[in-house]
Amino acid sequence: MEFPQVVMQRYATKTFDGKKVPQEKFAQLQELIRNAASSYNIQPWRIKVVTDDATKKALAPHAWNQPQITTCSHLLVFCADTELEDNIDMLAKAGAPEQYVAAMHGFAEGLTGERRLAWAQRQVYLALGNAINGAKALGLDSCPMEGFSPEEFAKVLKLPANIVPTTLCPIGYASDAPKPKVRFPKEHVFF
Ligand SMILES: Cc1cc2nc3c(=O)[nH]c(=O)nc-3n(C[C@H](O)[C@H](O)[C@H](O)COP(=O)(O)O)c2cc1C
């Protein structure tokens, strides 16, 4: 499928048919997500993959019992990782030039408190974009979701404080049908 078709055919799926996505296909999707762009290439994301029914059931009430949570194949919990220094160290080990590493450390030091989380979360949404379009390109369906309690998800998934649930992306095979897209006109969007 060409990218324009991917964008036009992707839609926010409300219910999945429960069928499991084969491991090789999911691995392809993981590659598309992992290769998302991020500022400085710091990649401040960790993505918890939930496939077992018991955990999905435990999470559902903390997402308004939206049916996507329990009917999907793989529930991706996109988390922002605020330990930026660890990622910068990994980039240094991977061969990033010394000057660039120093610039990244300076940048990270300047990001304090809420600004650090907000910055990391902005990057997470780029990975989410790859997930929803990547899924469609691979013949899968998805739904970007913010209707959940990040605090309760962190508790159920026993996440450390630096891994902050930011957005969800259930993946699977839709059992509903897309509705016509409602989008503002080009003249409004572009000025
Ligand atoms: C960040 C984000 C959060 C969203 N949260 C939810 C959600 O919690 N539940 C849901 O059913 N849809 C959710 N949506 C889906 C939007 O409602 C949907 O993308 C929008 O209505 C446009 O429809 P389309 O994606 O089918 O074209 C979310 C979308 C985005 C981008």
Q: Which two tokens stand for residue 121?
A: 């979360």
Round to whole Å and give the CA distance between 146 and 128: 11
How confident is the model at residue 47, as a pLDDT?
98
Q: Where does ligand 1 bind, in terms of residues with CB under 6 Å?
A: 11-12, 14, 66, 143-147, 167, 181
Query: 132: number of CA atoms within 13 Å, CB side?
Result: 20
Out of 13, 15, 145, give the residue to mutate to test ligand 1, the one with the largest number of ligand atoms within 8 Å of its CB. 145
Q: What is the DSSP string of 87-125?
A: HHHHHHHTT--HHHHHHHHHHHHH--THHHHHHHHHHHH
Q: Where are the domains of the chain?
A: 3-176
> Beta 141-142 vs 74-81: how paired, if at all?
unpaired
Non-local CB neighbours of 33 within 8 Å, separated by 6+ positions: 47, 76, 127, 130, 131, 134
Q: Which atom of ligand 1 is nearest to the CA of 148?
A: 8
**Residue 113's pLDDT is what?**
84
* Nearest alpha-carbon partner for 168 in 35, 76, 73: 76
pLDDT digits (tens), the chain, 191 positions: 899 999 999 999 999 999 999 999 999 999 999 999 999 999 999 999 999 999 999 999 999 999 999 999 999 999 999 999 999 999 999 999 999 999 999 999 999 989 999 999 999 999 999 999 999 999 999 999 999 999 999 999 999 999 999 999 999 999 999 999 999 999 999 99
What is the distance in A from the centroid of ligand 1 to the CA of 142?
A: 10
Q: In degrees to the nearest 10, what's the CA dihedral of 139, 63, 57, 25?
A: 20
Atom 7, ligand 1: residue with shortest CA distance: 145
pLDDT in the model for residue 4: 98
CATH superfamily of 3-176: NADH Oxidase (3.40.109.10)
**Smallest Cα–Cα separation from 163: which of 130, 125, 120?**
120
Q: What phi and psi values does residue 46 have, to the nearest 5 degrees?
A: -135, 140
